[in-house]
């Protein structure tokens, strides 16, 4: 569940920016003959609705209904008492109570039949059946997948989103600085990371940890505790105002190995060489053998989803100016090394730019 | 599954609805969709959406057969098709994606969900033990919250302190909302930038998760000395909580527990404030999901049985002092209930200095 700061500062994300995003979606909808677009949100899949309206559910579910004109309507499975809070943190035309989200959506579409009757659904395949079933059984329009339609307008990132991402990156970087040099246990480490990030205004923090790089480089979610080895790796995914970044850093309790310095330099060089035209090449890294790498971005409802990875042959397209996060694992002579950072992807022939 | 004639149960989940997956396969997705194939004849197979999630789950449970695909839903659809004539069902309703529900398994979703719901309602000894530990953590977390609640601090800094504490105890998950202020406060919400002020009522619902199981505590504190109306309000909520807890016993319904609490409010002339205009539920089940069955509402006739676990909380708006919360986690025992959370039932006062 989300339990960090959720608030909306109008000078940080002006209403006009949100309205502009909705207008771009509406233009796409009109071109595609869609009479309405449905965008599902939960705290696991908050990003599309947040990008359009600044609303992030701390729990529960909601469905955003966008018509070809006018402000979006939120059908929210929250109790009515929460509506004032929803309005205070988001830019919406109307908020309706919808304890049974699917039925409420079907009833709403009966009340305001889409014209034309085709209804686009972002990530239709993934729509929870509890929401989808009443819509499928209703007579108010055919559901069609509108994932590509939304993705077409989602990236590249605008200046507002890049500023939020930089703030998230700064929160993460500051959290890394608080790692105690002599930390012995995972719980001690994770505690200071959480505290720092949340005190700095993070909406959410997802830490994963490989507590002993010499034994295993897999980044794990921790329930319970573990001893930290002499070398360990931390992945910190941080959200600030619904914008997510992901960092990975290796930590040595002894002097930083020279192999790590070299790996970090090459990581930066490789990340900067990436651009919209060479995603299929992946990071051409040395020294060390790349074990795994991923490039992720946000172009739908998940905060980050994979664009390219070393384990699949063909990446999907991502245009220059997109916000993305690169993560990689190297097999060095003296063990595993992990790195990761957010970047703004370069256009064809142009370098990418690491956020911080 | 044998009784229901199911050979393979496909359990869907995601970070929002991870409870069924945790129950069936002991996995908790952090990002993306996840599907577990629970087979009566083989170890569980898992399909997730990213290589990082797959590696993590393999490291957590070496015996699991974990695959990943950028199209995890499509991959699951193929895997279901490959099961051929084996009797297969899919659940739960809240997490099965449209694409899988549009196939031949659609007719069995409700029944398979009910099967899991039934199994998840009464807790085993090990589940109760996890809930006990979560309740201890809830009490300790509330002590941290009280200590952090000081005039001038923003709401979100209180949650930061609590989260840091939970992490220091190996707890990665917590459901927490709060409220601060006076009569104008109508509920709780995620923490905002509002800074605490003298005289504020500070409410919180704090719900740490241990081994996947949530226990909850609800308390209200005052910054400074409580006013007379605040003391009077506390007396009503405390009486209602005691009445609610006293009503928890095998054979009683969730509705009985709600009525016991609401009767106290009605007796004090506060009957308007137990309606949906001012409050959601008078408690709810606890387990692998923070808001589990049953909802404690007057019209819910689900009968309580030993080893069900729930929170009893008469949380609602009070016209003189604002939103007020007060609640404890309980386990149904053969002759009544055991209160799991131990924080004293007091209106806590935090000194202003």
Give per-residue pLDDT as tens, B212-235.
999 999 999 999 999 999 999 999
| Residue B2 Cα distances to B5, B11, B22, B42, angstroms | 5, 16, 20, 14
pLDDT of residue B27: 97
What's the mean per-residue pLDDT of chain A? 95
With an 8 Å Cβ cutoff, is B170 touching chain A? yes
Check pLDDT > 70 for residue A287.
no
> Do the Cβ atoms of B59 and A218 come within 8 Å?
yes
Q: Tell me which of B89, B120, B151 is where a domain ends.
A: B120
With an 8 Å Cβ cutoff, is B111 touching chain A? no
Residues B175 and B144 in one domain: yes
> Do the Cβ atoms of A126 and B99 come within 8 Å?
yes
> Do the Cβ atoms of A44 and B164 come within 8 Å?
no
CB-based contact A150:A48 (threshold 8 Å): yes
Residues B102 and B148 in one domain: no
Q: Tell me which of B120, B151, B169 is where a domain ends.
A: B120
Check pLDDT > 80 for residue A352.
yes
Q: How many domains are there within chain B?
A: 2
Helix (H) or strand (E) holding B201: strand B201-210
Q: Å from A228 to nearest chain B CA?
A: 14
Q: Is residue A75 part of a domain?
A: yes
Instruction: Provide the residue range defining the domain that includes B248.
Output: 125-350
Q: Tell me which of A96, A119, A154 is where a domain ends.
A: A154
Provide the pLDDT confidence category of residue A79 given band limits of 50, 70 and 90.
confident
Q: Tell me which of B85, B105, B120 is where a domain ends.
A: B120
CB-based contact A218:B53 (threshold 8 Å): no
- Residue-wise pLDDT for A187-229, tens only, equals 999 999 999 999 999 999 999 999 999 999 999 999 999 999 9
Q: Tell me which of A154, A176, A191 is where a domain ends.
A: A154
- Residue-wise pLDDT for B10-30, tens only, equals 999 999 999 999 999 999 999
ipTM exceeding the 0.90 mark = yes
Whose CA is closest to B100, among A306, A105, A146, A127?
A: A127
pLDDT of residue A289: 74
CATH number where B94 lies: 3.40.350
Of A44, A198, A208, Cβ closest to residue B163: A198
> Do the Cβ atoms of B165 and A191 come within 8 Å?
yes
> Do the Cβ atoms of B189 and A85 come within 8 Å?
yes
Q: Tell me which of A121, A154, A187 is where a domain ends.
A: A154
Residues B70 and B131 in one domain: no
Mean pLDDT is lowest, of B71-75, B192-196, B277-281, B324-328, for B277-281
Check pLDDT > 70 for residue A283.
no
Residues B304 and B183 in one domain: yes
Residues A168 and A116 in one domain: no
Check pLDDT > 90 for residue A80.
no
Check pLDDT > 70 for residue A281.
no
CB-based contact A101:A61 (threshold 8 Å): yes
Residues A50 and A144 in one domain: yes
Q: Is residue B21 part of a domain?
A: yes
Residues B99 and B130 in one domain: no
* Residues with Cβ within 8 Å of residue A127, at least 6 apart in sequence: A38, A40, A121, B97, B98
Q: Is residue A246 part of a domain?
A: yes
Whose CA is closest to A118, among A149, A146, A147, A143?
A: A143
Q: Is residue B2 part of a domain?
A: no
B-interface mutation test, from A46, A59, A127, A128, most B Cβ less than 10 A away:
A128
Residues A190 and A335 in one domain: yes
Residues A44 and A106 in one domain: yes
Helix and strand numbers (H, E) in chain B are 9, 17
With an 8 Å Cβ cutoff, is B176 touching chain A? yes
Residue B282 with chain A: CB contacts under 8 Å: none
Q: Is residue A100 part of a domain?
A: yes
DSSP state of A248: E
Check pLDDT > 80 for residue A349.
yes
pLDDT of residue A319: 95
pLDDT of residue A230: 96
Provide the pLDDT confidence category of residue A275 given band limits of 50, 70 and 90.
very high
> Do the Cβ atoms of B211 and A223 come within 8 Å?
yes
Interface of B with A in 218-257 (CB under 8 A): none
Q: Is residue B59 part of a domain?
A: yes
Residue A186 with chain B: CB contacts under 8 Å: 170
Of B60, B98, B106, Cβ closest to residue A220: B60
Residues B214 and B137 in one domain: yes
> Do the Cβ atoms of B98 and A292 come within 8 Å?
no
Residues A69 and A99 in one domain: yes
Angle at which helix A186-199 crosses helix A159-177, to 10 degrees, equals 140
Residues B171 and B115 in one domain: no
Residue B276 with chain A: CB contacts under 8 Å: 79-80
Q: Is residue B257 part of a domain?
A: yes
| Residue B296 Cα distances to A137, A308, A338, B266, angstroms | 31, 47, 48, 17
CATH number where A147 lies: 3.40.350.10
> Do the Cβ atoms of B16 and A45 come within 8 Å?
yes
Residue A151 with chain B: CB contacts under 8 Å: none
Residues A180 and A306 in one domain: yes
Residues B116 and B184 in one domain: no
Residue B170 with chain A: CB contacts under 8 Å: 186-187, 222-225
Provide the pLDDT confidence category of residue A286 given band limits of 50, 70 and 90.
low
Alpha carbon A3 to its chain's center: 17
CATH number where A203 lies: 3.90.230.10
Helix (H) or strand (E) holding B81: helix B72-82
Instruction: Provide the residue range defining the domain that includes A237.
Output: 159-354
Residue A312 with chain B: CB contacts under 8 Å: 70
Token pair listed for B27: 């996995």
Q: Is residue B247 part of a domain?
A: yes
Start-to-end CA distance of chain A, whole Å, equals 28
Report the pLDDT averaged over residues B59-81. 96
Residues B105 and B163 in one domain: no
Residues A224 and A165 in one domain: yes
Omega into A284 within 30° of 0, i.e. cis?
Answer: no
Quote the pTM value: 0.97
Identify the three-state secondary structure at position A54: coil
Provide the pLDDT confidence category of residue A290 given band limits of 50, 70 and 90.
confident
Check pLDDT > 90 for residue A288.
no
Provide the pLDDT confidence category of residue B186 given band limits of 50, 70 and 90.
very high
CATH number where B340 lies: 3.90.230.10
Q: Is residue A8 part of a domain?
A: no
Residues A210 and A251 in one domain: yes
pLDDT of residue A284: 64
Check pLDDT > 90 for residue A145.
yes
Report the pLDDT averaged over residues B272-279. 94
- Residue-wise pLDDT for B85-130, tens only, equals 999 999 999 999 999 999 999 999 999 999 999 999 999 999 999 9
Residues A198 and A304 in one domain: yes
Residues B189 and B335 in one domain: yes
| Residue A218 Cα distances to A25, A59, A246, B171, B304, angstroms | 39, 29, 16, 20, 43
Residues B129 and B116 in one domain: no
What's the mean per-residue pLDDT of chain B? 97
Residues B58 and B198 in one domain: no
| Residue B123 Cα distances to A63, A84, A191, angstroms | 33, 37, 30
> Do the Cβ atoms of B159 and A198 come within 8 Å?
yes
Q: Is residue A90 part of a domain?
A: yes
CA dist., res. A146 & res. A122, Å (int): 5
CB-based contact B210:B140 (threshold 8 Å): no
Residues A203 and A314 in one domain: yes
Provide the pLDDT confidence category of residue A243 given band limits of 50, 70 and 90.
very high
Q: Is residue B1 part of a domain?
A: no
Share of chain B above pLDDT 70, in %: 100
Residues A197 and A321 in one domain: yes
Residue B172 with chain A: CB contacts under 8 Å: 190, 221-223
Helix (H) or strand (E) holding B22: helix B19-25
Q: Å from B280 to nearest chain A CA?
A: 6
Report the pLDDT averaged over residues B309-319. 98
Residue A132 with chain B: CB contacts under 8 Å: 98, 101
B-interface mutation test, from A8, A129, A219, most B Cβ less than 10 A away:
A129
Residues A289 and A336 in one domain: yes
Q: How many domains are there within chain A?
A: 2
Residue A194 with chain B: CB contacts under 8 Å: 160, 163-164, 167
- Residue-wise pLDDT for A21-41, tens only, equals 999 999 999 999 999 999 999
CA dist., res. A66 & res. A26, Å (int): 8
With an 8 Å Cβ cutoff, is B32 touching chain A? yes
> Do the Cβ atoms of A208 and B163 come within 8 Å?
no
């Amino acid at each position: 569940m989300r339990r960090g700061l959720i608030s909306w500062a109008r000078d940080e994300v002006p209403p006009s920016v949100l309205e502009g995003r909705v207008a771009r979606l509406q233009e796409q909808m009109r071109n595609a003959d869609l009479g309405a677009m449905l965008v599902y949100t939960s705290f696991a899949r908050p990003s599309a609705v947040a990008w359009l309206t600044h609303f992030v559910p701390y729990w529960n579910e909601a469905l955003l209904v966008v018509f070809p004109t006018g402000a979006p309507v939120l059908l929210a499975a929250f109790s009515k008492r929460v509506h004032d809070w929803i309005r205070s943190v988001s830019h919406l035309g109307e908020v309706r109570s919808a304890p049974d989200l699917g039925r409420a959506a079907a009833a709403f579409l009966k009340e305001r039949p889409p014209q034309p009757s085709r209804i686009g659904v972002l990530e239709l395949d993934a729509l929870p059946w509890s929401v989808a079933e009443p819509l499928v059984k209703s007579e108010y329009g055919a559901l069609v997948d509108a994932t590509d339609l939304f993705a077409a307008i989602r990236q590249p990132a605008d200046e507002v989103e890049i500023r939020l991402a930089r703030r998230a990156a700064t929160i993460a970087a500051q959290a890394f600085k608080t790692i105690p040099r002599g930390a012995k246990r995972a719980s001690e480490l994770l505690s200071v990371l959480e505290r720092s990030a949340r005190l700095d205004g993070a909406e959410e923090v997802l830490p994963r940890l490989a507590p002993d790089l010499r034994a295993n480089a897999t980044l794990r979610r921790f329930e319970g505790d573990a001893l930290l080895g002499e070398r360990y790796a931390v992945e910190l995914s941080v959200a600030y105002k619904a914008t997510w970044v992901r960092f990975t850093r290796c930590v040595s309790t002894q002097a930083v190995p020279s192999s790590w310095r070299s790996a970090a330099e090459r990581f930066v060089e490789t990340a900067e060489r990436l651009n919209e035209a060479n995603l299929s090449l992946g990071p051409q890294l040395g020294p060390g053998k790349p074990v795994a790498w991923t490039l992720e971005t946000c172009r739908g409802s998940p905060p980050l989803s994979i664009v390219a990875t070393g384990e699949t042959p063909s990446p999907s397209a991502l245009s220059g100016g997109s916000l993305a996060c690169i993560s990689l694992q190297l097999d060095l002579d003296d063990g595993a090394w992990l790195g990761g950072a957010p970047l703004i992807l370069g256009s064809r022939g142009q370098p990418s730019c690491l956020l911080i | 599954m044998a009784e229901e004639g199911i050979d393979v149960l496909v359990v869907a989940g995601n970070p929002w609805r991870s409870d069924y997956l945790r129950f069936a396969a002991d996995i908790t997705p952090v990002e993306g969709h996840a599907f577990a194939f629970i087979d009566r004849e083989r170890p569980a197979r898992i399909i997730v959406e990213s290589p990082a999630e797959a590696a993590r789950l393999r490291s957590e449970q070496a015996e699991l057969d974990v695959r990943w695909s950028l199209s995890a839903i499509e991959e699951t659809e193929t895997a279901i098709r490959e099961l051929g004539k084996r009797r297969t069902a899919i659940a739960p309703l809240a997490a099965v994606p449209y694409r899988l529900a549009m196939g031949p398994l659609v007719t069995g979703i409700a029944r398979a969900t009910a099967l899991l719901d039934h199994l998840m309602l009464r807790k085993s000894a090990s589940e109760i033990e996890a809930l006990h530990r979560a309740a201890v953590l809830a009490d300790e977390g509330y002590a941290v919250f009280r200590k952090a609640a000081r005039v001038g601090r923003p709401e979100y800094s209180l949650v930061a302190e609590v989260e840091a504490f939970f992490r220091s105890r190996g707890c990665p998950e917590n459901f927490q909302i709060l409220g601060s202020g006076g009569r104008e406060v109508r509920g709780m919400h995620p923490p905002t930038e509002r800074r605490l002020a003298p005289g504020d009522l500070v409410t919180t619902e704090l719900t740490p998760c241990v081994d996947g199981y949530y226990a909850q505590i609800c308390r209200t504190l005052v910054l400074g000395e409580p006013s007379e109306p605040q003391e009077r309000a506390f007396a009503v909520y405390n009486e209602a909580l005691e009445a609610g807890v006293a009503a928890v016993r095998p054979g009683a319904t969730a509705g009985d527990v709600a009525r016991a609490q609401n009767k106290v409010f009605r007796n004090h002339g506060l009957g308007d404030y137990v309606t949906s205009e001012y409050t959601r539920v008078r408690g709810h089940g606890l387990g692998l999901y923070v808001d589990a069955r049953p909802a404690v509402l007057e019209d819910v006739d689900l009968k309580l049985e030993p080893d069900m676990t729930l929170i009893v909380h008469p949380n609602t708006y009070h016209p003189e002092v604002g939103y007020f919360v007060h609640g404890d986690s309980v386990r149904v025992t053969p002759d009544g209930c055991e209160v799991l959370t131990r924080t004293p039932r007091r209106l806590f006062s935090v000194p202003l200095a």
